[in-house]
Amino acid sequence: MNTILTILFLVGSVSSSILFWRRTPTFFHANGTLYCGMYKPWCFHVSMFETDYPFGDDRIDFFGTRCTSNAYYPYDIKGIQTGDGLWNEDYELTMYVSHNCTRGGDIRRIERVTKNVPLSDHHVNIVWNVNVADLGEFVDYYA
Ligand SMILES: *[C@@H]1O[C@H](CO)[C@@H](O)[C@H](O)[C@H]1NC(C)=O
Ligand SMILES: *[C@@H]1O[C@H](CO)[C@@H](O)[C@H](O)[C@H]1NC(C)=O
């Protein structure tokens, strides 16, 4: 059993290195403006992950944590990925905004799953503007 697993693992590693080697990188860019009209100051953190990465989620980039008393705050994140998990044909991207623009000041996290992006796309631009006030699941920290 162990031998079979080892062989499968080796075959998988070799094949995926060949796939990685062949692929050209994809550039990711996401930006937008966060809005918090009701509470101040407030803090936030924006992040973008590739969520089907074989060894756990792969964070592409993040912005923050920043705190501001302005109602509007622009963010901009970018990153590069080369290839994906073993046999996947696309990137699965998820963006998060965690913030404490909330009534009690607790941290909440808003999730946005973007469309799957084919590996053959070389440039991906995402625009996400969010009015964050009191939105999202409660979380313990900015991430
Ligand atoms: C987002 O990026 C685009 C293209 O680079 C730019 O035109 C736009 O002004 C940016 N928006 C924000 C809110 O930064
Ligand atoms: C958010 O957290 C910061 C830092 O802890 C705090 O100063 C601010 O008052 C909090 N904002 C709200 C709306 O509770």
Q: Provide the residue ranges of all domains of the chain, joining segments of one domain with +.
A: 24-138
Give the per-residue pLDDT at 40.
95
Task: Look at 114 and 22; give whichever has higher pLDDT.
Answer: 114
Whole-number mean pLDDT of the chain?
84
Residues touching ligand 1 (Cβ under 6 Å) are 31-33, 74, 76
Give the per-residue pLDDT at 78.
95
CA 100 and chain centroid, separation: 19
Q: Is the CB of 67 under 6 A from ligand 2?
A: yes
Beta carbons of 31 and 76 less than 8 angstroms apart: yes
Under CATH, what is the fold of the domain 24-138? Immunoglobulin-like (2.60.40)
Give the per-residue pLDDT at 51.
80
Structure-token pair, residue 21? 């080697």
Running DSSP on this structure, what letter comes out for residue 25?
A: P
Give the per-residue pLDDT at 62.
95
pLDDT beyond 60 at 14: no
- Ligand 1 atom nearest to 33, measured from its CA: 13
Give the per-residue pLDDT at 87.
62
Q: Is the CB of 38 under 6 A from ligand 2?
A: no
Task: Look at 109 and 1; give whichever has higher pLDDT.
Answer: 109
Give the per-residue pLDDT at 86.
57
CA distance 32 to 130: 8
CA 107 and chain centroid, separation: 18
Among residues 43, 80, 76, 87, which one has the least CA distance to residue 60? Answer: 80
Give the per-residue pLDDT at 90.
80
CA distance 36 to 93: 25
The protein residue whose alpha carbon is closest to atom 1 in ligand 2 is 42
Q: Which ligand is nearest to the CA of 35?
A: 1
pLDDT beyond 80 at 143: yes
81-103 mean pLDDT: 82
The H-assigned helical ranges of the chain are 2-22
